[in-house]
């Protein structure tokens, strides 16, 4: 992994800690979790528009991408905690 990867993964870890501090352990029904994730993806799309068309800096875009990754991690964590409920096993390789 590159130094950039480590920096980004560290930011995702910090965002997960922030999310847990705000919301506690997240235990949402899958459809709601997907809605939360898609809401974050929508914020990424909005920031891309700001960067491309308004020449705004990419810092907010990066933050939104970190939030998308953190929500996806939270969803995977929930599935791993409740694998029987979702009839899925943790997949550690793609």
The residue range of the domain holding 15 is 3-86
CB 54 within 8 A of CB 81: no
DSSP state of 25: S
% the chain with pLDDT above 70: 88
Predicted model pTM: 0.83
The answer to whether residue 51 is domain-embedded is yes
Q: What is the tally of structural domains in the chain?
A: 1
Beta-carbon contacts of 23 under 8 Å, excluding residues fewer than 6 positions away, are none
The answer to whether residue 93 is domain-embedded is no
The answer to whether residue 94 is domain-embedded is no
Residues 57-82 pLDDT 10s: 888 999 999 999 999 999 999 999 88
pLDDT of residue 34 exceeding 70, the answer is yes
CB 60 within 8 A of CB 44: no
First to last CA, the chain: 17
The answer to whether residue 18 is domain-embedded is yes
Q: What is the mean pLDDT of the chain?
A: 89
The answer to whether residue 28 is domain-embedded is yes
């Amino acid at each position: 992994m590159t130094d950039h990867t480590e920096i980004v993964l560290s930011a995702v870890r910090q965002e997960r800690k922030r999310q847990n501090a705000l919301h506690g352990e997240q235990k949402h029904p899958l459809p709601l979790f997907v809605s939360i994730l898609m809401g974050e993806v929508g914020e990424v799309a909005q920031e891309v528009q700001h960067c491309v068309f308004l020449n705004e800096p990419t810092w907010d875009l990066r933050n939104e991408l970190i939030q998308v990754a953190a929500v996806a991690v939270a969803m995977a964590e929930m599935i791993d905690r409740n694998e029987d409920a979702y009839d899925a096993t943790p997949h550690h390789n793609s």
